[in-house]
Structure 1
């Protein structure tokens, strides 16, 4: 039986930090103030190609509960969706990097007091090389779009994101304070949203 490994909040590769508004088509394209990235590893070799893991992702598989929790922080689900037009979920250089993508699953989360908003996105790509390219693109001229329903006060200029390549999948977890909320610690919200990446571990055992 293959061993599972925990996905932690500690970055392996820091791609970008303290950069947030890039322009696309003359409009502001929000991106996180802090972005951390991880390429795939040999641990995910059994799912390095979609051909070896052909079953599509489902909302029930990826988002089995109505909330995510880390420490004393719980964020409640505010909606999920499945997209087949992967390019519609990204902007900039990431649009080219999603070539061969067959689906995107996306979910929004919020703290009960409304002070933190987050989203989790997973891309189903052809292989691990494609997943690595997409993760690299997120730190070099492109990023995911905000999910429909994201609060107007989502403060990208203070937001954190984690991008990971996990075999032929790429994931992004992105959290931010909402409005002028001060002294918001994003550590536990980020870990809570990013914990959804662990679901992919189950595909290693199929």
Structure 2
């Protein structure tokens, strides 16, 4: 190449460094591909049929200390009722927007409301006795949402379930209730969140009726807060144990 010996040596060093960096980049990419494991990989086509709808995203939160008085079902043995959890037929979102309850159901057989081998096994271990589901349609006809409340044996089981769902939710989820007034579109975009509430787990599931992803004009935060209005039942149970002063 017509280079002097010292420049040839420098070129070899540069080439060696570049090669090493390229190899390192490849290694990092490989590691990242492992770290970016998607729950969709576990949910194979055999598990997720064309009519199965699951959230695209899921976020989970642990139980606040407020719910410590009901961290053990032994202190909160009364069964949930439809009137208690879904007594309000409308949940306000904004001044001109409401979520209307279009279907509700409480199953004592938790496997009737859920699907997915790992999820069913975990709720069985958690001694799940009830799954309360309420399906909602927005008053403007644009949104569909479902709130689910699971009655487990203790706070640790609730926390473990929420943590597990962070990675396994696309391989096991809640069955949506059916109604002619609202439905999650198969294959459409939807989002979900899980909340440990003492020995309960609350699941919020939201989507647009047309199945498209939300835009800045779609206030999913307010919709989520509205759906969580069903959790008033859990707050009332805390007050029953601790008294109004809490």
Alignment partner of 1:179 out of 201, 210, 221? 210
TM-score, scaled to structure 1: 0.81
Residue-by-residue CA offset, 1:158-205 (whole Å, 9 max, x unaligned): 222121010010110111001256756133222211232233111111
* Separation in structure 2 between the aligned mates of residue 157 and residue 179 of structure 1, nearest angstrom: 7
Q: Which moved more, 1:191-200 or 1:116-125?
A: 191-200
* Separation in structure 2 between the aligned mates of residue 49 and residue 102 of structure 1, nearest angstrom: 14
Aligned position for 1:98: 123
Larger proportion of helix: 2
* Separation in structure 1 between the aligned mates of residue 142 and residue 99 of structure 2, nearest angstrom: 10
Larger proportion of strand: 1
CA contact (8 A) 1:47 1:168 kept: yes
* Separation in structure 2 between the aligned mates of residue 48 and residue 34 of structure 1, nearest angstrom: 27
* Separation in structure 1 between the aligned mates of residue 177 and residue 203 of structure 2, nearest angstrom: 12
Task: Decide whether aligned partners of structure 1 residues 84 and 25 sit closer, same or farther in structure 2, where only a CA change above 3 A counts.
Answer: farther
Residue-by-residue CA offset, 1:26-85 (whole Å, 9 max, x unaligned): 433432122121112332111011100000111111112101112232011101111011
Alignment partner of 2:68 out of 42, 45, 67? 45
4+ residue runs over 4 A deviation: 18-21, 150-153, 180-184
Task: Decide whether aligned partners of structure 1 residues 47 and 160 sit closer, same or farther in structure 2, where only a CA change above 3 A counts.
Answer: same
Aligned position for 2:81: 58
Aligned position for 1:144: 174
SS of 2:167's partner is coil
* Separation in structure 2 between the aligned mates of residue 82 and residue 200 of structure 1, nearest angstrom: 15
Higher-Rg member (1/2): 2
Identify unmatched segments of 5+ residues in structure 1. Answer: 1-15
CA contact (8 A) 2:188 2:210 kept: no
Residue-by-residue CA offset, 1:11-32 (whole Å, 9 max, x unaligned): xxxxx9x977934744334321
CA contact (8 A) 1:131 1:170 kept: yes
Instruction: Measure how far apart 1:125 and its partner are.
Output: 0.6
How many pairs were matched up? 190
